[in-house]
Structure 1
């Protein structure tokens, strides 16, 4: 096994940064090192406000500034979500940035020297690269089911199940960048911030999207990704550089990363105080702690309301995943939950990734029917019948009641 190259110490790095050109030799841009799609503005060819890539309706549902993938279309994909089918979650609009102009600034009283340290795109690419295969899932994925399935009102984007995707991400370890910048031993939080436009809601400017991470998580498995599925990040997915925070709610994986504050005291932002907490009668008066881990889900790769023929054997496919542990089993019901049986898991379960599963069903009676699936992970977590309500509709994890009609 090849040895990992040694990471230079901070003094060596600072000298190199001071003398380095905009892009080092290893990081020189070529035609292959920028996204294939170019646009003068983010809405030029999108078909949706503020999104660059094409959004064909057979693959996406437009939801305001966001584009939800149609979950049933994952059926003809593998374990990785094709980049052109990956959902888009934007608070404002996609910025079209140039790698040659990009800088990452690491700053704050949590650094030894307390002086900001800057990294160029090329310098970041010169650091030891790592690859993570990880899901990115919006905390509100499944939000609409609070209302349609549980009869409970919630606020926020009405995602069904398509605000999730899996990709192979390549980049530099956040831990390497922080140590090179001079992380102090008593630093407790880091706050990555994006380069998209400030988010304004209700007439209040909340600034650019930013959210604190505990240093312990930052030093664990977080990367500064510059590639997605073997290609440079597309604009809508964070080009030139984004954070990837495996297993955490999607908002933690800040896109279009611009700077990282490092602090000796806890940090906060509207995305950890006003949003991405659980509010409501079942939760503390000031809300829960800020959301960290995602939850678990399973779903059929089949349109809601699909029509299936009676007296014919149908192969039903789906996916299951858990942020807590690898998938252990998937059970399915074709009679609204009266009876359950095991589905066949197609893939080897790996923590932090989803698996595909399949089952067969030969319906006899015509009329409406309800398909269900539920996942159990290796830590013993099981999808519940209902998700405890919260007013902003986060972390829906209940068994999904999937309506079909047999004819």
Structure 2
């Protein structure tokens, strides 16, 4: 097996035994005030009105939570990251201090659940879908610091013949319908892993909080949230394709317009949201509507409609992993439906039975008094 000791010592790292200890914890650790979150079982959706006075980076206290089971309680001292498989020449086991000793970088990136906006398939398009009925709050933007996954793979001697990397989380095994699907895991092609993926240990300048992946997690910019595995425990690198229920059973586009076995969900789609509650009541008179728009390739322009017919350009407030914007509105008493779109967001989203990648313009009702 390796000359793991030699490789680590050459990089100035310590060599430690491989083990990880998880302790049972409540489903979500941090407080979930009703002013900031809508709770969906083991998940917590951010209320958009809670972001109105928040800058581009969403603080941990308001960042959405997507858990398959419960947030695990992991020990930083005993946590280890294993890198192994037929696709590497030098299998490694790294401690958190080893990871922190390697060259690091930071990236601002949006993490978004593949099902964000799922409820609108039903409420706007009259279609039946399965899964957590998110509105638009299963998304957040943060600054992440860590080690590029490519650095770790090269340290482990990634082979030219390597095809996939399979990251595995340390949360509890996921059981559904009486079937144990094992720990959450989802393969990444080596080409993506070597590109812009980060093994992050900090979020917004502080160590990762428990609900967001402590001690370390993947951050996969532009891809659906399931790819950014939290509580990372191992990375298997293989010279053949790898699979899990999270790319064969879930996170596939299934429906009448797709192949029988579906199409794999990878990158996200453009979305836009007002920093207002759905069905909010606002006073008549001059208002300033604010919100955010985001897309994997960035947003060029944002347009807002307050009358259902005409569109006006919104003014960008800040750009980054997502665009914050504002637009004035002379609000008149009565019921209104607001709309916002990033670039060419469509009026309807392609149907799929599991409600992934809703990207249509959302109709946002408000009442002016």
Shift of residue 247, structure 1, vs aligned partner: 0.9
Of stretches 354-363 and 389-398 in structure 1, the one that deviates more from structure 2 is 354-363
**1:120-199 equivalent positions in 2, closer than 5 A:** 120-199=95-174
Shift of residue 328, structure 1, vs aligned partner: 0.9
What CA deviation, in whole Å up to 9, does each residue of 1:269-324 have, x standing for no partner? 10001111100112111101x211111011110111112333x111110101111x
Q: 1:10 touches 1:179 (CA, 8 Å); kept in 2?
A: no
* Aligned residue in 1 for 2:350: 388
* Aligned residue in 1 for 2:287: 314
SS at match of 1:313: strand
Quote the Cα distance in structure 2 between the aligned partners of 1:316 and 1:303.
Answer: 12
- Among 321, 333, 342, which residue is 1:375 paired with? 342
Answer yes or no: is 1:42 the counterpart of 2:25.
Answer: yes
Answer yes or no: is 1:101 the counterpart of 2:73.
Answer: no
SS at match of 1:13: helix
- Among 270, 275, 281, which residue is 1:301 paired with? 275
Structure 1 stretches (4+) deviating beyond 6 angstroms? none
* Aligned residue in 1 for 2:194: 219
- Among 262, 265, 289, which residue is 1:291 paired with? 265
Q: 1:60 touches 1:70 (CA, 8 Å); kept in 2?
A: yes
Q: 1:22 touches 1:100 (CA, 8 Å); kept in 2?
A: no
- Among 41, 48, 54, which residue is 1:71 paired with? 48
Change over 3 Å in CA distance of 1:52–1:267 after alignment to 2: same
- Among 306, 311, 314, which residue is 1:340 paired with? 311
* Aligned residue in 2 for 1:404: 366
Change over 3 Å in CA distance of 1:143–1:179 after alignment to 2: same
- Among 297, 303, 309, which residue is 1:331 paired with? 303
Change over 3 Å in CA distance of 1:341–1:120 after alignment to 2: same
Q: 2:16 touches 2:93 (CA, 8 Å); kept in 1?
A: no
List gaps (5 residues or longer) in structure 2.
none
Quote the Cα distance in structure 2 between the aligned partners of 1:184 and 1:11.
Answer: 19
SS at match of 2:77: helix
Answer yes or no: is 1:20 the counterpart of 2:20.
Answer: no
TM, length-normalised to structure 2? 0.95
SS at match of 2:52: helix
Quote the Cα distance in structure 2 between the aligned partners of 1:57 and 1:19.
Answer: 45
Answer yes or no: is 1:61 the counterpart of 2:38.
Answer: yes
What CA deviation, in whole Å up to 9, does each residue of 1:117-176 have, x standing for no partner? 211111111100110110000000010111111111110011111100011100011111
SS at match of 2:97: helix
Quote the Cα distance in structure 1 between the aligned partners of 2:92 and 2:287.
Answer: 58
Q: 1:102 touches 1:240 (CA, 8 Å); kept in 2?
A: yes
Shift of residue 20, structure 1, vs aligned partner: 2.7
TM, length-normalised to structure 1? 0.86
- Among 64, 86, 109, which residue is 1:87 paired with? 64
What CA deviation, in whole Å up to 9, does each residue of 1:154-205 have, x standing for no partner? 1001111110001110001111111111111110110000000110011111
Answer yes or no: is 1:231 the counterpart of 2:206.
Answer: yes
List gaps (5 residues or longer) in structure 1.
1-8, 24-38, 44-49, 377-381
Quote the Cα distance in structure 2 between the aligned partners of 1:77 and 1:154.
Answer: 32
